[in-house]
């Protein structure tokens, strides 16, 4: 377009025509987050995507997360949990390393929590039982509404800790022990 035809464009209008870096993709609905905690002499870290309720029903047959179906508790890339020393996870031994977390939510009773050796995967499809390191059954708790999914450590006592997954009114406490002692 010849410059003579652009007289009607103000400097502000010209700015709107310039694409911004990353504008094509927009801002993601689920932001990335991480949390780390030292328990005794063991570093534990979690990297995950934080889906947000945004007025939607979270859990249930008509919710985002269906009862009795495999669910990755996070958004986008699978939630990764890393331990720099061996731990016990819900009373079972778990070797140092990097893993992904999966669950099978239930309307009543305990949820199944799956620790998978497939750490660097997307949230679908599930990497399969062949990648499972362990499955444990955990009783959920009810709590105040949490708009965006969060992982946090509400209790750290010497060599034990509770890692909590919290979204909506559902809280899933995961109990960890860090027995490593430096020599």
- CB atoms under 10 Å from CB of 149, counted, come to 23
DSSP string, 86-155: -EEETTEEE-SEEEEEEEE--SSSEEEEEEES--S-BSSS---GGGEEEEEEEE-EEEEEEEEEEEEEEE
Rounded Cα distance between 83 and 78, Å, is 16
- The DSSP output letter for 17 is H
Could you list the pLDDT tens digit for every one of the 183 residues in the chain? 455 554 554 544 444 444 444 445 677 778 899 999 999 999 999 999 999 999 999 999 999 999 999 999 999 889 999 999 999 999 999 999 999 999 999 999 999 999 999 888 877 788 889 999 999 999 999 999 999 999 999 999 999 999 999 999 999 999 999 999 998
Cα(118)–Cα(132) distance, rounded to whole angstroms?
8
CA dist., res. 79 & res. 113, Å (int):
12
């Amino acid at each position: 377009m010849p410059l003579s035809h652009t007289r009607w464009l103000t400097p502000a209008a010209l700015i709107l025509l310039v694409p911004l870096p990353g504008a094509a993709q927009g801002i993601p609905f689920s932001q990335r987050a991480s949390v780390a905690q030292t328990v005794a002499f063991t570093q534990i870290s979690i990297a995950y995507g934080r889906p947000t309720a945004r007025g939607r029903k979270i859990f249930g047959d008509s919710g985002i997360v269906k009862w009795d179906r495999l669910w990755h508790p996070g958004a986008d890339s699978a939630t990764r949990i890393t331990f720099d020393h061996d731990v016990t996870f819900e009373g079972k031994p778990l070797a140092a390393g990097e893993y992904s977390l999966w669950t099978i939510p239930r309307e009543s009773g305990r949820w199944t929590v799956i620790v998978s050796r497939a750490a660097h995967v997307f949230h679908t499809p599930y990497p399969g039982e062949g990648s499972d390191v362990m499955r444990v059954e955990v009783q959920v708790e009810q709590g105040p509404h949490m708009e965006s999914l969060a992982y946090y450590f509400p209790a750290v006592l010497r060599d034990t800790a509770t890692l909590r997954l919290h979204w909506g009114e559902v809280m899933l406490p995961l109990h960890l022990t860090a027995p490593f002692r430096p020599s």
